[in-house]
Structure 1
Amino acid sequence: MVERYAREEMAKNWTQHARYAAWLEVEKAAVKAWNKLGLIPDSDCEKIVKNATFSVERIEEIEAITKHDLIAFNTSVSESLGEESRWFHYGMTSSDAVDTGVALQMRDSLKIIIEDVKMLMESIKKRAFEHKMTLMVGRSHGIHGEPITFGLTLAVWYDEVARHLKNLEETMDVIAVGQISGAMGNFAHAPLELEEYAMAELGLKPEPCSNQVIHRDRYARLATALALLASSVEKFAVQVRHLQRTEVYEAEEYFAKGQKGSSAMPHKRNPILTENITGLARMIRAYAIPAMENVALWHERDISHSSTERFWLPDAFITTDFMLHRMNSVIANLTVMPENMMKNLNLTGGLVFSQRVLLELPLQGVSREDAYRIVQRNAMKVWEEIQKGKPTTNEKGESLYLQYLLADEELRASLSEEQIRECFNFDYYTKNVDAIFNRVFK
Structure 2
Amino acid sequence: MLEYSIYRDCFSSAHMRSIWSEHATISAWLKVEQVLAAHQAAAGLIPIEAAEAIEEISICDLNHEELRKEMMFVGRPIVGLAKQLRQLLPEHSAHVHYRTTTQDVMDTALAMQMKLGLEQIQSTLGDVMAAIAHHVSAHPDTMMMGRTNGQHAVPIRLATKLEVWRSELGRRSEALQEAAKRGLNVQIGGPVGDLRGYENGIGRQIKQDVAHSLGLSVVEPHWQNARDGIADIVTALGSLCGTLCKIAHNVNQLSSSDIGEFAEVHEPGKGSSSAMAHKRNQRASEFGEAVARLGRQRAGQIGELTHHEHERSGGVWIGEWIVVPEVFLLTSGALHWSERMFKSLVTDTNAMALLVSSYRSVNSIYHLDRS
Q: TM-score, normalised by structure 1?
A: 0.77
Within 5 A, what are the aligned runs for 1:314-393? 314-348=325-359, 350=360
User: How far, CA to CA, are the matches of 1:24 and 1:185 in structure 2?
Assistant: 20
The answer to whether the 8 Å contact 2:284/2:340 transfers is no
Aligned equivalent of 1:123: 131
Aligned equivalent of 1:354: none
* 2:34 equivalent to 1:22: no
Equivalent of 2:364, from 397, 402, 406?
402
Percent identity, aligned pairs only? 28
User: How much has 1:261 moved relative to structure 2?
Assistant: 2.7
1:223/1:64 CA distance change after superposition, 3 Å: closer
Deviations 1:137-177 (A, max 9, x none): 11111212121111111111111111011111111112210
Aligned equivalent of 1:297: 308
1:200/1:405 CA distance change after superposition, 3 Å: closer
Aligned equivalent of 1:202: 214
What is the one-letter code of the residue matched to 2:274?
S
What is the one-letter code of the residue matched to 1:201?
S
What is the one-letter code of the residue matched to 2:299?
A
3-state SS of 1:252 partner:
strand
The answer to whether the 8 Å contact 1:52/1:77 transfers is no
The answer to whether the 8 Å contact 2:186/2:210 transfers is no
1:81/1:247 CA distance change after superposition, 3 Å: same
Within 5 A, what are the aligned runs for 1:181-192? 181-190=189-198, 191-192=203-204
1:40/1:52 CA distance change after superposition, 3 Å: farther
RMSD of aligned residue pairs (Cα, Å): 1.8
Equivalent of 1:44, from 32, 41, 50?
50
Aligned equivalent of 1:376: none
1:260/1:12 CA distance change after superposition, 3 Å: closer
Stretches of 4+ aligned residues off by more than 4 angstroms: none
User: How much has 1:65 moved relative to structure 2?
Assistant: 3.9
Deviations 1:166-196 (A, max 9, x none): 1111111122101211111221102211211
3-state SS of 1:79 partner:
helix
Deviations 1:214-240 (A, max 9, x none): 621111111211111011111111111
Equivalent of 2:119, from 94, 111, 114?
111
Equivalent of 1:253, from 257, 264, 267?
264
74-83 or 163-172, larger mean C-alpha shift: 74-83
1:82/1:347 CA distance change after superposition, 3 Å: same
3-state SS of 1:178 partner:
coil
User: How much has 1:407 moved relative to structure 2?
Assistant: 6.7
User: How far, CA to CA, are the matches of 2:329 and 2:369 in structure 1?
Assistant: 62
1:82/1:143 CA distance change after superposition, 3 Å: same
Equivalent of 1:68, from 72, 76, 86?
76
1:67/1:156 CA distance change after superposition, 3 Å: closer
The answer to whether the 8 Å contact 2:145/2:154 transfers is yes
* 2:170 equivalent to 1:162: yes
Q: Which has the higher contact order (CA 8 A, sep 6+)?
A: 2
Q: Give the unaligned 5+ runs of structure 2.
A: none
* 2:28 equivalent to 1:7: no
Equivalent of 1:287, from 298, 305, 310?
298
Equivalent of 2:93, from 82, 85, 96?
85
What is the one-letter code of the residue matched to 1:339?
N
The answer to whether the 8 Å contact 2:100/2:189 transfers is yes
Aligned equivalent of 1:422: none
User: How much has 1:117 moved relative to structure 2?
Assistant: 0.8
1:37/1:154 CA distance change after superposition, 3 Å: same
User: How far, CA to CA, are the matches of 1:14 and 1:104 in structure 2?
Assistant: 11
Q: Which of 1 and 2 has greater Rg?
A: 1
User: How far, CA to CA, are the matches of 1:294 and 1:403 in structure 2?
Assistant: 60
User: How far, CA to CA, are the matches of 1:323 and 1:7 in structure 2?
Assistant: 9
User: How far, CA to CA, are the matches of 2:289 and 2:366 in structure 1?
Assistant: 43
User: How much has 1:32 moved relative to structure 2?
Assistant: 1.1
Q: How many residues align?
A: 359
User: How far, CA to CA, are the matches of 1:6 and 1:405 in structure 2?
Assistant: 53
Equivalent of 2:155, from 138, 147, 153?
147
User: How far, CA to CA, are the matches of 1:402 and 1:63 in structure 2?
Assistant: 74
What is the one-letter code of the residue matched to 1:90?
Y
* 2:185 equivalent to 1:177: yes
User: How far, CA to CA, are the matches of 2:160 and 2:92 in structure 1?
Assistant: 64
User: How far, CA to CA, are the matches of 1:401 and 1:61 in structure 2?
Assistant: 74
Deviations 1:309-342 (A, max 9, x none): 2221121111111110111111111110000001
The answer to whether the 8 Å contact 1:28/1:49 transfers is yes
Deviations 1:13-54 (A, max 9, x none): 112221111111111111111111112222222222123643
1:138/1:209 CA distance change after superposition, 3 Å: same
User: How far, CA to CA, are the matches of 2:252 and 2:193 in structure 1?
Assistant: 51
User: How far, CA to CA, are the matches of 1:9 and 1:214 in structure 2?
Assistant: 30
